[in-house]
Amino acid sequence: MLLDEVEILTTIAETKSLSRAADRLYLSRPGLSKKISRLEERYGVKLYERTPSGVALTPAGDIFTKFAKKVSDLEETLAAELAAVQESFNSTIEVGMALADAETLLPPAVRRFLDVYPNEYIHLDAGYEIELMEKLKDGSLDFAVLENAPLDDEIARETLGYKRLTFLAPNKPPYNTAAQPIPVTTLFKWPCVSYERECGFHLTGNRFFRERYGLALRSEDLVVQFDSWESRIIAVREGIGWASMPEVIAERHKGDPDLIRLKIDCDDILYPVDIAWHADHDIPEPARRFMAFFKAHLPAGYFRQK
């Protein structure tokens, strides 16, 4: 069975009409009937019965149509796999990229690096810290830029600097009517939109408040948990609760009329941004070169020093 015959059978099954099928296939009605007749002659069976409302499958036609649908699905799979081969990207440098500061810093560095080393191919693998650290361990990443990642004896790291967590809230009461700075005890009475647990920022603020002020978010204050910064922004905008997030994320939504930035009556909450690699793995020379280039071209004034 040829692929154009498969298309004929599946189209007739969808339209249940030879005329409509002919139109969709850009064939004349006699031309379509001729192709069907040739198929019936080849296999010695009748595929369709004409009815007042169109056509109906014969038992043989039903078998043919089911087979044609399977072939059509296989053809789509074949096309997808061929496209994947044609679009394959053979990277020479594999870099893990956390989802806030690293996502902001790495793409511009890649552009500048490729101006100098045009024959390198860099894959930026975005993800949460725990996931990226596992990839460092199994060797699928050369190095990663992580934010507030947990300590691990297998992972070596160099701190590039520190960034600040900020607090966003819906632009509605009680958030926009409370006098600022907001007392920590007041903040903790309001519902909180939490981090995804695999994220390096998970409950960073909670740990800070517990260590500095002896306070902790109770489970009933954590009303919802999302796994992306954008979904948390939307949750805050919809009025679900407040959220703490990296300064770089909050800056992307500066001027949003549905959001306000809260000033909390506490010290700044800082987190480290690190370059990390497996302590026992040799970093390939191209990746080592890009790592050095990245560190040398960090934007001036981007980081705070703790």
What pLDDT, in 10s, does the model give residues 278-303?
Answer: 999 999 999 999 999 999 999 999 99
Q: Record the tokens describing residue 169, joined without a space.
A: 């809230």
Residues 147 and 277 in one domain: yes
Banded pLDDT at 224 (limits 50, 70, 90): low
Rg of the Cα trace of the chain? 30
What does pTM read for this prediction? 0.70
| Residue 52 belongs to domain spanning | 3-86
Residues 240 and 201 in one domain: yes
CA distances in angstroms from 240 to 148, 167, 196, 286, listed in the order given: 26, 14, 16, 46
Instruction: Give the pLDDT mean for 199-203.
Output: 51
Q: pLDDT per residue over 48-63, tens digit each?
A: 888 887 788 899 989 9
Residues 24 and 97 in one domain: no
How far apart are alpha carbons 233 and 170 in whole angstroms?
9
Is residue 172 assigned to a domain?
Answer: yes
- On whether the CB atoms of residues 165 and 273 are closer than 8 A, the answer is no
Is residue 76 assigned to a domain?
Answer: yes
Number of domains in the chain: 3
Is residue 303 assigned to a domain?
Answer: no
Sequence-distant (≥ 6) Cβ neighbours of residue 168 within 8 angstroms:
233, 236, 242, 243, 244, 245, 250, 253, 259, 260, 261, 262
Peptide bond into 191 cis (omega under 30): no
Residues 117 and 70 in one domain: no
